[in-house]
Amino acid sequence: MTKELTRFVYVTYIRSTPEKVFEAITRADIAKRYWGHENVSDWQPGSKWQHVRDNEERTVELVGEVVEISPPSRLVISWANASEAEDPESYSRVTFDIVEYDDMVRLTVSHDDLVVGSGMAKGVSSGWPLVLSSLKSYLENGTSLDVFAKPKAA
């Protein structure tokens, strides 16, 4: 049976350079400051990458492979929950496209091959806006958002 797939696309403009935005995504020491996770890889095509929680347990939450990399304008990675890493059908695909404007960049994140109604599709639809807002805040102001914050009770 064929699964119905969907995609999530988020576009934001950041007062920064393509190099700084690309580094913020690929350098573990920067990503943990605004994402609460480190993206760990040698960032070569075909290499593995891991999304490691920045805590004492150092939990690997997501895994994948570097599909394409063209610094500082494009990164494509496969993406799956670490617990589902052995299932090839569990992988989705994330593309980061960075385009330079006068004094800013346009960052487009496209998350493709998501199964409609899946936990991953639901998670990324709320997760990407928060993470990318935190990235923007961090690069523009030096302060990140709490990406683990929960809504206040009504």
Distance from C-alpha of 25 to C-alpha of 116, rounded to nearest angstrom: 26
Is the model's pLDDT at 27 over the cut of 90? yes
What pLDDT is stored for residue 102 in this prediction?
A: 95
Q: What is the CA radius of gyration of the chain?
A: 15
pLDDT tens figures, 40-80: 999 999 999 999 999 999 999 999 999 999 999 999 999 99
H or E element in which residue 81 lies? strand 74-81
What pLDDT is stored for residue 153 in this prediction?
A: 82
What pLDDT is stored for residue 33 in this prediction?
A: 97
- Altogether, the residues listed in the chain come to a count of 154
What pLDDT is stored for residue 154 in this prediction?
A: 65
Distance from C-alpha of 75 to C-alpha of 69, rounded to nearest angstrom: 5
What predicted TM-score, i.e. pTM, was given to this entire model? 0.95
Q: Which residues on adjacent β-strands are paired with residue 133? A: none
| Ordered strands of the 60-70 beta sheet | 5-14, 105-115, 92-100, 74-81, 60-70, 48-53, 37-40
What pLDDT is stored for residue 83 in this prediction?
A: 96
Distance from C-alpha of 98 to C-alpha of 62, rounded to nearest angstrom: 22
Nearest to 78 by CA among 49, 58, 107, 38: 49
pLDDT tens figures, 84-133: 999 999 999 999 999 999 999 999 999 999 999 999 999 999 999 999 99
